[in-house]
C-alpha cells in the first residue's frame, strides 16, 4: 500500500531517529525530511530526456531562506529537483524558466539526470545511478533536492577518483572526477583567457600526480607556464636539455623541415630526400638487423652522410631534371645544421642511438616519484614547433602500439593551446601534428594513450577531436561560437548545465561526461602558490608605478634576444 504524505504536515513520522544519524547531523536530517515532503510543483509534460514541470511560486519563495543551500535554490535555473516514481526518486536539472501569465505558475523545462532508491524511513535518496528506467506521469509531485541527496548523488568513494572542488550550490559536497573514465576516454579543458584555465589544469594534474606518483604524463607547454608549478614532482625539459634526435622524425616530418618548395617541385624534392635518407640510414649498424628498412624507421644517421648523398645524386649524369632540387635540399639542411636555435634537435652530438634513453626519460619509465614531464617548447623556433610536438605525440602513440604484449604502461598526453596543433578545417595547414593528435583522439584509447586538450578557442579545434573527448571541463566561454561548439559536442542531458557557461565565475567549471556520475558545476579548489603556473595577469596599475633600472634591464634583454637564449 502506497503511503501519501500530506504537504501540510511535512515532517510527520519521517523525523530520523538518533540510531540512524549522529546528533550533529540531526538538524540537517530534519530539514531534509521537511524539504523532501514539500511539493514545489507537478509534472506538466513528459517528452523523453527533457520535460516540463509547473512550479508553485509561493512555495519556492518560502524555501528561499532555507538553511540548506540546495533546498533554497529550488526552482532556479541550474538547480536539481526530484520526482517520485513508485519507490524510486527521479532526479532532473532545471534548464529554463518562464512565467505562465494566465495561471501565475512558473513553467520549467528540465533534463533528467538519473534515479535513486527511496529510503523508507527518511524519504531520502540513495543508490543513485545515471540514466532513467521509468518516467513519471503528468501530475506527479515535484520535490526539492536536499544536500543529503546531493551527497548521495555525487558520492565517489567506491571508484578511484580525485577531488577538484566544491559542488555548486553546496558548501561541503566535494566534486570528484573518476580517474579511469576521465583518462580512458580523453578529456578537454576549455575556458576563455583569464578564467583560471591554466591553474585548473595544474590542479587536475597535481591531483593525478599525488594519486599516482609512478604514472606517466607528458605535457606540451607552449608558453613555459608550467615549469614553476611542477618543479617538485615533475621533470622539466626545454631547448637546453631536451636533446631530441632529428632521426626520430618520420618521413612526413622530415619533409616539413627540409622541403621548402611547393606544387610539383615539392614531390620531386620529397622523392630525392626519401632516397637519400634511406641510403643514409642503411649505413648505420642499427639497420643491419632490420629486415624491412623503410624511410620511416627510427634509425640514426649522420646529417653529413645525407648531404653527401644528395651531392652524389646531383653529380650523376642520369638524374631526372636539373640540379635545383638537390641544391634546395642541401642548402636547407646546411642552414639548419649551422643555426644554433636548432641545436637541441639537429646537433652533431645527437647521432648516437639514444632512443631507449630518450623514451625512458620523457615518458617517465620509471617515474621515480616524478610522474610528469613538462616539455617547454617556448624556446623552439616557431617554424618547427609543430614538428617537435608531432614527433613527441607520435612517439607516445607508436610506443604504445609497438609495446603491445609487454606490460601496459598507459601514457597521458596533455596538449596546452590545442587549437594551434589540431586546427579546424578552415584553419588547417596540413601539418603532421594535426593528423597524429586526431588519430590519438580516435584510436588512442585502444592502446592506452590518453589525450588531454586545453584550449581557449574550442571552435578553432578540429570538429571530430572535441567529440572524441569523453569528459568536458568547461569554464567561462565569452565567445558565442565557442559556446555553441561545446554544446553541440555534449549529450542532450547536459545542455542545461552548459547554458550556464557564460555566467560562470573565475575558477568555476561545468563538468560533464564520463568522468563524473552526472553533470556538475564546481567551484575549483585554490592551489598552493608554489604549485601554480606562471600565468598570472600583470597588474598595470601597480607595475606602471615602479621606475628605475630600465637601462640595465633593456641591455640584458637585448643580450638574451640576440643570443636566442634565456
- For residue range 79-104, what is the model confidence (pLDDT) as tens digits? 888 888 888 888 888 888 888 777 77
- Asked if residue 509 lies in contact with residue 475, where contact means CB atoms within 8 angstroms, the answer is yes
- What is the SS3 assignment for 372? strand
Q: What class, spelled out in words, does domain 175-242+354-535 have in CATH?
A: alpha beta
- What is the SS3 assignment for 566? coil
Which residues, at least 6 apart from 63, have a Cβ–Cβ distance to it below 8 Å? 35, 38, 40, 71, 72, 74, 75, 144
For the CA atoms of the chain, what is the radius of gyration?
Answer: 29
Q: What is the DSSP letter of 404?
A: B
Q: What is the DSSP letter of 427?
A: G
Cα distances from 307 to residues 272, 331, 434, in angstroms, run 11, 9, 29
Q: 366: cis peptide before it, omega within 30°?
A: yes
Place of cell 634583454: 557
Kind of pairing, strands 105-118 and 372-376? unpaired
Phi, psi of 404 (to 5 degrees): -65, 135
Q: What are the cell numbers at 53?
A: 514541470
- What is the SS3 assignment for 53? strand
- For residue range 300-326, what is the model confidence (pLDDT) as tens digits? 888 888 999 988 888 776 666 677 888
What per-residue confidence (pLDDT) applies to 10? 39
In this prediction, the residues of the chain whose per-residue pLDDT falls under 70 are 1-37, 48-50, 156-157, 317-321, 426-429, 491-496, 498, 536-537, 564-566
Which residues, at least 6 apart from 315, have a Cβ–Cβ distance to it below 8 Å? none
What per-residue confidence (pLDDT) applies to 15? 38
What per-residue confidence (pLDDT) applies to 127? 81
Is 35-154 CATH 2.40.30?
Answer: yes
Whole-number Å distance between alpha carbons of 316 and 391: 34
What per-residue confidence (pLDDT) applies to 1? 42
What per-residue confidence (pLDDT) applies to 157? 67
Whole-number Å distance between alpha carbons of 290 and 474: 48
Whole-number Å distance between alpha carbons of 114 and 82: 10
What per-residue confidence (pLDDT) applies to 186? 92
Amino acid at each position: 500500500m502506497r503511503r501519501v504524505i500530506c504537504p501540510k504536515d511535512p515532517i510527520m513520522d519521517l523525523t530520523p531517529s538518533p540510531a540512524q544519524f549522529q546528533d550533529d547531523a540531526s538538524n540537517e536530517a530534519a530539514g531534509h525530511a521537511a524539504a523532501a515532503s514539500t511539493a514545489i510543483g507537478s509534472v506538466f509534460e513528459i517528452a523523453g530526456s527533457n520535460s516540463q514541470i509547473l512550479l508553485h511560486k509561493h512555495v519556492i519563495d518560502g524555501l528561499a531562506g532555507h538553511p540548506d543551500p540546495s533546498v533554497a535554490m529550488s526552482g532556479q535555473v541550474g538547480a536539481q529537483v526530484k520526482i517520485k516514481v513508485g519507490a524510486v526518486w527521479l532526479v532532473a536539472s532545471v534548464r529554463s524558466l518562464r512565467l505562465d501569465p494566465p495561471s501565475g505558475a512558473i513553467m520549467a523545462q528540465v533534463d533528467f539526470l538519473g534515479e535513486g532508491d527511496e529510503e523508507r524511513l527518511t524519504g531520502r535518496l540513495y543508490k543513485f545511478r545515471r540514466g532513467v528506467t521509468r518516467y513519471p506521469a503528468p501530475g506527479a509531485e515535484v520535490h526539492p533536492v536536499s544536500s543529503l541527496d546531493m551527497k548521495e548523488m555525487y558520492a565517489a568513494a567506491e571508484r578511484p577518483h580525485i577531488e577538484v572542488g566544491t559542488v555548486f550550490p553546496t558548501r561541503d559536497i566535494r566534486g570528484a572526477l573518476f580517474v579511469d573514465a576521465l583518462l580512458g576516454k580523453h578529456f578537454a579543458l576549455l575556458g576563455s583567457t583569464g578564467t583560471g584555465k591554466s591553474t585548473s589544469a595544474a590542479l587536475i594534474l597535481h591531483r593525478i600526480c599525488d594519486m599516482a606518483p609512478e604514472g606517466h604524463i607528458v605535457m606540451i607547454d607552449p608558453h613555459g607556464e608550467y615549469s614553476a608549478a611542477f618543479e617538485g614532482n615533475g621533470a622539466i625539459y626545454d631547448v637546453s636539455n631536451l636533446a631530441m634526435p632529428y632521426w626520430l622524425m618520420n618521413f612526413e616530418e622530415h619533409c616539413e623541415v627540409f622541403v621548402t618548395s611547393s606544387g610539383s617541385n615539392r614531390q620531386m624534392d620529397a622523392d630525392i630526400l626519401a632516397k637519400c635518407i634511406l641510403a643514409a640510414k642503411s649505413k648505420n649498424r642499427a639497420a643491419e638487423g632490420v629486415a624491412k628498412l623503410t624511410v620511416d624507421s627510427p634509425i640514426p644517421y649522420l646529417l653529413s652522410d645525407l648531404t653527401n648523398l644528395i651531392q652524389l645524386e646531383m653529380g650523376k649524369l642520369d638524374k631526372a631534371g636539373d640540379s635545383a632540387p638537390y641544391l634546395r635540399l642541401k642548402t636547407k639542411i646546411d642552414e639548419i645544421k649551422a643555426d644554433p636555435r636548432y641545436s637541441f634537435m639537429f646537433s652533431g652530438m645527437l647521432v648516437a642511438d639514444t632512443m631507449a634513453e630518450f623514451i625512458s626519460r620523457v615518458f617517465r619509465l620509471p617515474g621515480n616519484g616524478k610522474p610528469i614531464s613538462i616539455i617547454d617548447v617556448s624556446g623552439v623556433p616557431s617554424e618547427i614547433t609543430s614538428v617537435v610536438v608531432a614527433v613527441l605525440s607520435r612517439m607516445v602513440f607508436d610506443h604504445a602500439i609497438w609495446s603491445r604484449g609487454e606490460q601496459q604502461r598507459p601514457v597521458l598526453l596533455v596538449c596546452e593551446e590545442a587549437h594551434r596543433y589540431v586546427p579546424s578545417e578552415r584553419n588547417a595547414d596540413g601539418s603532421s601534428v594535426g593528423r597524429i593528435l586526431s588519430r590519438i583522439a580516435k584510436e588512442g584509447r585502444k592502446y592506452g594513450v590518453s589525450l588531454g586538450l586545453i584550449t581557449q578557442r574550442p571552435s578553432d579545434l578540429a570538429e571530430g577531436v572535441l567529440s572524441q573527448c569523453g569528459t568536458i571541463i568547461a569554464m567561462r566561454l565569452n565567445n558565442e561560437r565557442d559556446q555553441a561548439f561545446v554544446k553541440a559536442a555534449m549529450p542532450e542531458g547536459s545542455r542545461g548545465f552548459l547554458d550556464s557557461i557564460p555566467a560562470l565565475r573565475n575558477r568555476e567549471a561545468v563538468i560533464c561526461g564520463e568522468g563524473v556520475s552526472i553533470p556538475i558545476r564546481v567551484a575549483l579548489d585554490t592551489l598552493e602558490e608554489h604549485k601554480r603556473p606562471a600565468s598570472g595577469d600583470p597588474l598595470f596599475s601597480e607595475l606602471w608605478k615602479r621606475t628605475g633600472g630600465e637601462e640595465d634591464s633593456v641591455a640584458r634583454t637585448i643580450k638574451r634576444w640576440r643570443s636566442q637564449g634565456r
